[in-house]
Amino acid sequence: MREFFTVGGRSLSYLDFGGPGNPLLALHGHYNEASAFAPLAEALAPQWRVIALDQRGHGESDRAESYERDEYVADVAAFHQHLQVGPAAVLGHSLGGVNAYQYASRHADRVTALIVEDIGAVVNCDWSFTTSLPRRAPSRDALVSALGAAAPYLECSFRESEDGWGFSFDIDDTVASQKALNGDQWTDWVAVFCPTLLIRGTRSDELAADHAREMIARRPGQARLVELPAGHVVHHDAQAQFAATVGAFLSKLD
């Protein structure tokens, strides 16, 4: 079920996949939106109730004037407070992964467990792919053709408008968000104290194996690493294995 709430004068949207289970808050990456977690929600039900946010500038949420780190984290805090579900597990992919561990580090009493999908404690994002995206295509098929192999990863964000087909995110906003994401976030990563699962794709071009192992080494006894046969978007490339890995981790907490 799609819902909306207001924070700072902006409307943010989210999908509550429902069910009687414990809440799992889910935060998508760039180019995506809440609907990307529909297969995970189905796989985890009924034990877990996935509630996924369309983050600022994505999906059905309003665009924002700024995409800085603190603002994303404040949105997550407002989202969590709005839900009134109490302390919860939080999962995030890429951009959402950094948002998730920064939220967990700064609101430790609100996060019971953390799942971070394929993003590091130091981020060096390349926005050349973003700037190469077509701003409009005359048809959905034309947009798919222009994207090539990337199309399946972005299709949840396809939107039709009066002047053709494009995305639910703005390309210039995404570049600004990627620039703000770059940098050293070790302080937040090591300040997380809840049980943490880091999932890395073995073919990832975003999270190097050595860096992932260093992340675990800096949080001994609290964090563990699982690597799955996938690229950066593990929940897409290894859908069943990703859901099983997340479910197994959460079941130990439950």
Of 32, 33, 108, nearest in space to 77 by CA: 108
Bridge-partner residues for 222, per DSSP? none
Give the CA angle between residues 155, 157, 159 to the nearest 5°. Answer: 100
Query: What interhelical angle do 95-106 and 69-83 show, nearest 10?
Result: 70
- Per-residue tokens: 79: 């989202």
Buried b (16+ CB within 10 A) or exposed e, 135-165: eebeeeeebbeebeeeeebbbbbbeeeeebb
pLDDT for res 8: 87
216 close to 225: Cβ distance less than 8 angstroms? yes
pLDDT for res 254: 60
Query: What interhelical angle do 95-106 and 171-181 show, nearest 10?
Result: 50
pLDDT for res 106: 98
pLDDT for res 81: 97
Its pTM stands at 0.96
Bridge-partner residues for 226, per DSSP? 199
3-state helix, strand, coil in the chain (%, to 5): 45, 25, 30
Q: What is the pLDDT along the chain (254 residues), one digit of tens a residue?
A: 999 999 989 999 999 999 999 999 999 999 999 999 999 999 999 999 999 999 999 999 999 999 999 999 999 999 999 999 999 999 999 999 999 999 999 999 999 999 999 999 999 989 999 999 999 999 999 999 999 999 999 999 999 998 899 999 999 999 999 999 999 999 999 999 999 999 999 999 999 999 999 999 999 999 999 999 999 999 999 999 999 999 999 999 86
Domains and CATH numbers, the chain: 2-122+170-253 (3.40.50.1820)
pLDDT for res 152: 96
